[in-house]
Amino acid sequence: MSSQSQSGLPPSASPAIRIRPRDLARLDALLDTPAYRGHPGAAALQRELDRADLLPDGAPGEPVVGMHARVHCIDEATDARHSLTLVFPHEADVDMGRVSILAPVGTALLGLTTGQRIDWPSAGGRTLRLRVLDIDPAP
Question: What number of residues does the chain have?
Answer: 139
pLDDT of residue 3: 33
CATH number, residue 71:
3.10.50.30
Q: Is the pTM of this model over 0.85?
A: no
- 63-100 pLDDT tens trace: 999 999 999 999 998 999 999 999 999 999 999 999 99
Number of domains, the chain: 1
Q: Which of 47, 44, 90 is nearest to 67 (CA)?
A: 90
3 inside domain: no
125 inside domain: yes
User: How many Å separate Cα 74 from the centre of its chain?
Assistant: 15
1 inside domain: no
6 inside domain: no
What's the CA gap between 5 and 121, in Å, rounded?
A: 11
Domain that holds residue 109: 11-136
